[in-house]
Amino acid sequence: MTTVMVCDDAPLTREVMMRRIGSLPGVTRVCGAASGEELLAKYATEQPALTLTDLRMPGMGGLDAVKRLLALRPNAQIMMMTLAEDIDGVARALAYGAKGYVMKDSTREELAVALAPFIGEAMPRSGGAGRPGVAATLTARELEVLRGMSQGHSNAEIGAELYLTEDTIKTHARRLFRKLDASDRAHAVAIAYRTGLIS
């Protein structure tokens, strides 16, 4: 029996995500929580195979909930949910031990691919989850740019630090996105943490 918990303070978002996830092969039950406090309170009784939580919530936010839950349950499988690119939040969550992130507007197919490792169902890949074999081909400069992204620096700030123009940084960024099969900066950072490219 595979239970998934969805934590979001916005009722509509929570309901939509629960409905989409509940329709995936391998998911037998979906439960919800409206806050980080409720997530922690429900976790022991629900014992979900996977927990998805919003990054930013009033009160105990997703980041604090991840940190506290993993301190109590080191084997908990947690993924973050975000509505917009949030490089700093994603990087911090991954550093705490989250397994990755999904966008709140993800389609059912995108959720199926992202959640497959946790719900025990092999789904066809449609890209966007990173290709570790390709990750090994990043150049030293691309890795430096990626590390700058993981620290929340803009292209201009990374360029200033590496004594390169902003356009050059953009070129390196496009190349590393392609090699990692990443859709944006936050996705690239998530893949880098997940595959051990940066820590």
Q: State the amino acid at position 168 in one-letter form.
A: T
C-alpha span between 7 and 39 (Å, rounded): 7
Closest by CA position to 171, among listed 158, 152, 190, 189: 158
Per-residue pLDDT tens digits for 13-47: 999 999 999 998 889 999 999 999 999 999 989 99
pLDDT of residue 128: 40
Q: What is the CATH number of domain 3-119?
A: 3.40.50.2300
The residue among 121 and 59 whose pLDDT is bigger is 59
The residue among 96 and 83 whose pLDDT is bigger is 96
Residue 121 pLDDT > 70, yes or no?
Answer: no
* Global pTM value: 0.65
Per-residue pLDDT tens digits for 58-82: 889 889 999 999 999 999 999 999 8
Q: What is the CATH number of domain 132-195?
A: 1.10.10.10
C-alpha span between 70 and 54 (Å, rounded): 16
Task: Return the domain boundaries, the chain.
Answer: 3-119, 132-195
pLDDT of residue 19: 94
Give Cβ neighbours of residue 45 (< 8 Å, ≥ 6 apart).
none
- In the chain, the percentage of residues whose pLDDT exceeds 90 is 43
